[in-house]
Amino acid sequence: MKLDLKEWTEKSLTKDDWNFTQYKKLPTSAISRVYQWEMDRELGSGKGPFGKDAANKKWLATVKKDFEVLPNAPVVSSSGSTFKTGKGGNLGGGGSSSLHVFQINWYCSQQELVDAFAEWLEEQSDAPFTTFPTNTRGRPRTQFTLLEKISIHRFHKVGYSGGPKFFRENAKDAYKANLKRINWTLAQREMNLHLRARTKELARLSKAAGKNWKKVLY
């Protein structure tokens, strides 16, 4: 199946089209929404960058607020000890257990919540035990990596291959320089697979709705 993808040029590819830094600290479900929007741009949605859309700006402000503010509240453990929530999740320790507070985004799917908790476990350097690593072969270390691969796809479209010259010329750009850790050839293959899958999904959506997916989603 041949993909009908958006064409990019040096002139049309702006910083807002490839620099996704502002989304790095968003919860997984929010990044998934950005990723889908940007994928659909590749497939002809006709929309501009996610962060430039008025409705998206309002949504982002709400998401960031909801996940940055953790109210202070007393927490009582089963042993009767009282702790108070605040900045940082670890409320106490001792022995083989510790008490933590989590903010849960219930808009996430069950699998996204499971993945987020597994990722949190792996990042606990002060844990009293070593967590058994999950099998992440073929999966990005974080959801944000998917957005970085969209950046790579778009750089590919304007003629960059991720070779030494690209990183030499962009050494002072932190976002571009950080793309060096990713295999660009494999990233492009992965993007093509995702775009094909999304194309089929949008075709099914159009058929079920009886009208073009662009009118349904955008």
The 10s digit of each residue's pLDDT in 109-152 is 677 777 777 777 766 655 554 444 444 344 445 689 999 999 99
Q: Which runs of consecutive H residues, i.e. helices, occur in the chain?
A: 15-18, 28-42, 54-68, 110-122, 144-157, 164-169, 174-178, 184-209, 213-217
pLDDT of 113: 76
The packing angle between helices 28-42 and 184-209, to 10°, is 80
How far apart are the C-alpha atoms of 218 and 213, rounded to whole Å?
8
Q: What whole-number percentage of the chain has pLDDT above 70?
A: 71
Per-residue model confidence (pLDDT) at position 63: 79
Give 22-71 pLDDT, tens digit per residue. Answer: 999 887 778 888 999 999 999 999 999 999 999 999 988 887 765 555 55
- In this predicted structure, what is the pLDDT of residue 90? 56
Q: What is the pLDDT of residue 59?
A: 87
pTM, two decimal places:
0.70
Please state whether 100 falls in left (phi above 0), alpha (psi between -120 and 50) or beta: beta
Compute the distance between CA of residue 60 and CA of residue 51 in angstroms, rounded to an integer: 8
Distance of alpha carbon 42 from alpha carbon 40, whole angstroms: 5
pLDDT-derived band of residue 9, with 50, 70 and 90 as boundaries?
very high
